[in-house]
Amino acid sequence: GLNFLDLMVRQGNIDNPPKTPLVPGFECSGIVETLGDNVKEFEIGDRVMAFVNYNAWAEVVCTPAEFVYKIPDDMSFSEAAAFPMNFVTAYMMLFEVANLREGMSVLVHSAGGGVGQAVAQLCSTIPSVTVFGTASSFKHEAIKDSVTHLFDRNADYVQEVKRISPDGVDIVLDCLCGENTGKGLSLLKPLGTYILYGSSNMVTGETKSFFSFAKSWWQVEKVNPIKLYEENKVIAGFSLLNLLFKQNRGGLIKSVMDKLINLYNNKKIKPVVDSLWALEEVKEAMQRIHDRGNIGKLILDVEKAPTPLMANDSTETSEAGEEEEDHEGDNENKERMPFIQ
């Protein structure tokens, strides 16, 4: 799986990144090739998906058994690689942190991305939940049925939300940070929960820039604890990787995965895969995420050959419809075209 977090790792916008050389990636799917001496719950040949503390973008991956889960029979490997990070993050924020219940309202940024689509699907499993989403305008046609109210990411979504719901919303899920922090807090109803789970606005140019990093944090509204108390608002943060690899909550994550797999088997949720890429095409795949051109998850496929026309392709634009050419009879090229399952 390819995540926005991988771009942050590449640019050094995370705490204590590993020293190079390193293999990026935090989730994968594949077949069990060998087992540790004390592993009883898996067998060689099992189809599995897993969390990995780096090194997921490799042909062979080693990770503790507690981070590995069997793939449902009718789930493809590409779906499985798109499943763990997005759906566990979405589920835990909605149900473990914000306590989503019937009749609540949720605002989610980047509604067309992997986490955004997972949030929308999980909200649909609870009756009468209203979902407000922001996304680039060219994605609206493709994702309009997944959220209740959809706004352009560059529009004044605060006024749009207040026009529809004058009291605001119960839950704000913010992966942007920067100036959106203050906007999100201003939209919270009393007893509402704001959750920061990323800071994608810090990834701006092609190279690491301390000044863009500092500017983004400078825009964050300083939170006054007394104001939170007076307004009855909750502000929270969520990092799945820290929960897994630093805070030893693998057991909790497994219980969440069990619930999510049950929802998948009951056809309540389904990973949205944007496109498949060869490992050699990771630069172009990252550019697609950087430009927010994806709808759903990008997948790196270790068995996929690079697209021969890659040198002529352009992923420099954020317009999904302009990023790749369609050549009749060129199945290799079509396989990598965006699609929604």
CATH assignment at residue 231: 3.40.50.720
| Helices then strands, each counted (H, E), the chain | 13, 11
Would you say residue 320 lies in a domain? no
Q: What does the pLDDT read at residue 330?
A: 40
Q: What does the pLDDT read at residue 317?
A: 35
Would you say residue 334 lies in a domain? no
* Side-chain-facing half-sphere of 331: CA atoms under 13 Å: 1
Output the CA angle 210-214-218, nearest 5 degrees.
Answer: 170
Instruction: State the chain's mean pLDDT as an integer.
Output: 84
d(CA 89, CA 17): 21
pLDDT exceeds 80 at position 308: no
Q: What does the pLDDT read at residue 181?
A: 80
Would you say residue 328 lies in a domain? no
Q: What does the pLDDT read at residue 20?
A: 83
Q: What does the pLDDT read at residue 97?
A: 96
How many domains are there within the chain?
A: 1
Would you say residue 232 lies in a domain? yes
Q: What does the pLDDT read at residue 206?
A: 44
Give the residue numbers spanning the domain of 276. Answer: 4-209+219-300
How does residue 56 score in pLDDT terms, banded at 50, 70 and 90?
very high
Would you say residue 306 lies in a domain? no
Would you say residue 315 lies in a domain? no
Q: What does the pLDDT read at residue 226?
A: 87
pLDDT exceeds 70 at position 39: yes
d(CA 136, CA 151): 8
Contact between residue 212 and residue 204 where contact means Cβ atoms under 8 Å apart: yes
- The per-residue pLDDT for range 193-229, each reduced to its tens digit, is 999 987 554 455 544 444 555 555 555 566 778 888 8
Would you say residue 255 lies in a domain? yes
**Candidate from 99-103, 215-219, 269-273, 295-299 with smallest mean pLDDT:** 215-219
User: Stretch 35-45: mean pLDDT, rounded?
Assistant: 95
Would you say residue 273 lies in a domain? yes
- The per-residue pLDDT for range 71-105, each reduced to its tens digit, is 999 999 999 999 999 999 999 999 999 999 999 99
